[in-house]
Amino acid sequence: MYENLIDTIERSTLSAFASLKDEGDVRAAITHWLYKQDMPFKFRNQELIDFWEESLNKFLHKNNTTLTQLKSNIRFPSHSNKFDFIDLFAGIGGFRLALQAQGGQCIFSSEWDNAAKKTYFQNYGKIPFGDINSFTGEGISEKELDHLIPNHQILAGGFPCQPFSNAGVSARSALGLAHGFECDTQGNLFHSIAKIAYVKQPDVVFMENVRNLISHDSGKTFEVIQNTMENLGDGVDNKHGYKFFYSVINSETVVPQRRVRCFMVCVRKDIWECRGDFIFPDFSGDPIPLREAIKETSPEEADSYTISDKLWQGHINRTQRNIARKTGFTAHVADLERPSNTIVARYGKDGKECLIPQNGKNPRKLTRNECRILFGYPQHFWYPEAKTPAYKQFGNSVVVPVVEKISQGIINYLE
């Protein structure tokens, strides 16, 4: 019924306010408003807010219910407001889950992939706003941005990694396209984070990207990111830069997946001057074997993920050719006593990153639920029924227990 409420308010809004019919974020704004009704974000129109209030009350009265009751079926709502955070490039909410576990309340989220937005809504009851450039792009003044984005203590975001990844760089170079900060679509989205941080001055900016970010363009890209954050407030009254800390972390000691990512924690300099350096938590320990992720999968479910003879033979042929010429990918069945290889967004195409061996038959891909386990999402987390979008969404995600452990370190540091 909660979704029916959103549908009802959206329909009546678009009927009453014709100017909003081409506005793509009405539904997102409604769900954000339903969480915190004093924050209308993009639509700072009192007439509209009054209309939403009236529509909400009519719906609740007609259905003899309350907003609290309607929200009670949301899988992972915010239960605490110990601190406020915003979730940029939100994907399916890995940062959100981790920061909520520390008592945080997500008051703004943004994500441009529609399938990921659906997963986000199914789990958190809130639809992310779309392209962050509509809040930070050219023509948006600092004063306007200050009204569009709510105040918050932590800004979290894994800004799009393709322009910085090894695969992304080689593909774009081969096509003669720009990459890194020269990419007009994804690469410059870090600057959206920097602009929001400059205007809103959160206590901490918490970012994630691929390991190759550090070495991209002989280290120049990473240097730009660090220098931008550290010099953000230079020479401007009441503005601070950020002390920059980073760590390259392998997830294999907290989930059965070898996923190495660069995490950045930027502490506002006036806070850093009082509290000193931020220390990343320790992720040492024994790797978790892949066997732990697949042990509850039934033979019947596993069978439906078995790859075809044609696909398996194609893997074998390409692997032999690539070994002979010492370049390109290889596809071998996984060692169940070690963590899986990194699961990427394209995993659904052929599964070459992690093929599960099976006695007497071709290997199989990971199930969607096994991917959930490899990324540390909770048991009742909703994900798409279709395999391809589920693989894509997990493959683009952070590993939740890694982010949760760092988040715990951030909150302990701030307290």
Q: Which residues are catalytic?
A: 161
DSSP percent split of the chain into helix, strand, coil, nearest 5: 45, 15, 40
Q: Are 172 and 223 contacting, i.e. CB atoms less than 8 angstroms apart?
A: no
| Rounded Cα distance, 171 and 178, in Å | 10
The answer to whether the beta carbons of residues 246 and 260 sit under 8 Å apart is no
Give the CA distances from residue 249 to residues 125, 380, 395, in Å, rounded to whole numbers and listed in that order: 31, 26, 17
**329 and 374 Cβ atoms separated by less than 8 Å:** no
Cβ proximity of 193 and 207 under 8 Å: yes
Tokens of 267: 């502490």
329, 322 Cβ separation under 8 angstroms: yes
CA atoms within 13 A on the CB side of 103: 9
Instruction: Produce one character per residue of 214-252: b if its CB has 16 or more CB atoms within 10 Å, e if not.
Output: bebeeeebbeebbebbeebbeeeeeebbbbbbbeebbbb
